[in-house]
Structures are given as structure tokens and as C-alpha cells.
């Protein structure tokens, strides 16, 4: 079951992408070392996910700073944003960071990252993994490379930190891929969460596609 509550009246025009996310700290902590953010432009939507080293308040400070850098920058390429965040995290313990840009008009996903954050494009039972370079923002990022992937009709973008297990498949939950992104994110978190780390799942799909509640 999925229920949506609005603080104010819902927007008259829905956004281009429907997005759902779960971002929670490991059970022993109050502060979360993971963070995510999104930015909507005229032609594309940008997503950022960061997973700071360790957990607790110091990890949260690093990830929150990454979000602040992402939020205040003008729309840039994913690789450009990762470079800026890498430079901006000096003085923190560092973090894994990815930025994904979904450009619906061009039917493309542009993706750049460093560290062990997982990105996938799911469609019709198939999946395509998105490539991040080795390294840690602030600590070491020898190569920050941007990759482009086709965005298929009916595609799902799934990003998650390493607090969520990577060995899962859409076939593990028949029919889940047709549900609301918030419900998909919740099920992935519920079933794949690793209890020793902070966990974040972000899911996005085009608004207007027929989905089940």
C-alpha cells in the first residue's frame, strides 16, 4: 500500500519525474552519514547521492556539505558537479558521491561518480549498471569520468548507497517495478538493508506512465 500526504495543495502540473526515496541512519545513530538531493531544470533533472566514510555526526557533516555544494551550483554536467564536490569536501572525512542527470528530451542519462554507490537503469525485467570510478571525494579521486546511457521508455533509475545490498534483481519482486517509486524504494530498503551502515535508496521514473499504487 502507498499513501501520499501533502503539506500544502499538490501542484497543478506534476513534475517530469516521479521520485521516491528512503534515507535513514544505522540503528545505533541519530545522524545519517548518507544524503541525497535533486535539482529540476528546464530540460533535465539532476540527482546526487553521497555516502560519507563511517557513520554518525562527522559522516553526516560531510554528506550535508556535499548537498550544500550541489544545491548552490548552477546546473552543470554530472562530472563537473562531482569535481566541485570533491574539492569542496576538504576538511571532512570524505565521501562516495554520484551525480545522475536524466534528460527526458534527449532520452539519455548522464552519470559520474567516485566510490561504491550503486546506480542502475531498470526496464522490462532487464538492468544496466552505471559506472562509478574508484576513489573517495576529498580523499582521492584520480579519475572522474562521465558516462551516457540511453533512457528507455518505462525506465526506472535506482541509486543506492552500500548500506543496501547489491545482489538483488527486479525478478525478486514480481510486479514491483510497476509500482510508485516511493513504494519501490521502501521495499528495496526493507528487504536489502545492511544493518551495519546508513542506507539510502532513490528511485525515479517518468511521470505520466501508468503505474499501480
Q: For residue 36, what is its C-alpha cell?
A: 541525497
Give the separation between CA 89 and CA 26, rounded to whole angstroms: 22
Q: What pLDDT, on the 0 to 100 scale, is given for residue 2?
A: 65
Q: Block means of pLDDT (10 residues each) for the chain, length 213 residues?
A: 69 83 94 96 92 95 95 87 93 95 96 96 90 93 94 95 92 89 96 94 84 52
The pTM score is 0.91
Do the beta carbons of residue 23 and residue 213 sit within 8 Å?
no
CA distance 68 to 80: 15
Q: Taking a C-beta distance cutoff of 8 angstroms, is the pair 45, 102 a contact?
A: yes
Q: Give the residue carrying C-alpha cell 567516485.
A: 114
The per-residue pLDDT for 211 is 53
Domains of the chain with CATH codes: 17-206 (3.60.40.10)
**The pLDDT of residue 43:** 85
pLDDT for the residue 50: 97
| Per-residue exposure over 55-66, b if at least 16 CB sit within 10 Å of its own CB, e if not | bbeebbbbbbbb
Amino acid at each position: 500500500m502507498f499513501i501520499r500526504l501533502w503539506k500544502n495543495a499538490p501542484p497543478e502540473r506534476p513534475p517530469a519525474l516521479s521520485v521516491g526515496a528512503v534515507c535513514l541512519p544505522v540503528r545505533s545513530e541519530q545522524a545519517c552519514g548518507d544524503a541525497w538531493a535533486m535539482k529540476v531544470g528546464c530540460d533535465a533533472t539532476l540527482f546526487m547521492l553521497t555516502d560519507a566514510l563511517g557513520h554518525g555526526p562527522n559522516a553526516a557533516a560531510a554528506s550535508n556539505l556535499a548537498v550544500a555544494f550541489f544545491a548552490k551550483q548552477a546546473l552543470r554536467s554530472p562530472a563537473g558537479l562531482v569535481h566541485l564536490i570533491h574539492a569542496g569536501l576538504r576538511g571532512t572525512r570524505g565521501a562516495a558521491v554520484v551525480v545522475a542527470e536524466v534528460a527526458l528530451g534527449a532520452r539519455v542519462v548522464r552519470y559520474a561518480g567516485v566510490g561504491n554507490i550503486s546506480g542502475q537503469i531498470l526496464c522490462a525485467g532487464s538492468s544496466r549498471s552505471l559506472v562509478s570510478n574508484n576513489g573517495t571525494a576529498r580523499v582521492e579521486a584520480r579519475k572522474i569520468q562521465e558516462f551516457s546511457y540511453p533512457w528507455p521508455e518505462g525506465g526506472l533509475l535506482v541509486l543506492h548507497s552500500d548500506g543496501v545490498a547489491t545482489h538483488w534483481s527486479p525478478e525478486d519482486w514480481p510486479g514491483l517495478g510497476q509500482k510508485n517509486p516511493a513504494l519501490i524504494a521502501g521495499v528495496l530498503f526493507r528487504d536489502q538493508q545492511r544493518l551495519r551502515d546508513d542506507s539510502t535508496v532513490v528511485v525515479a521514473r517518468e511521470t505520466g506512465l501508468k503505474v499501480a499504487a
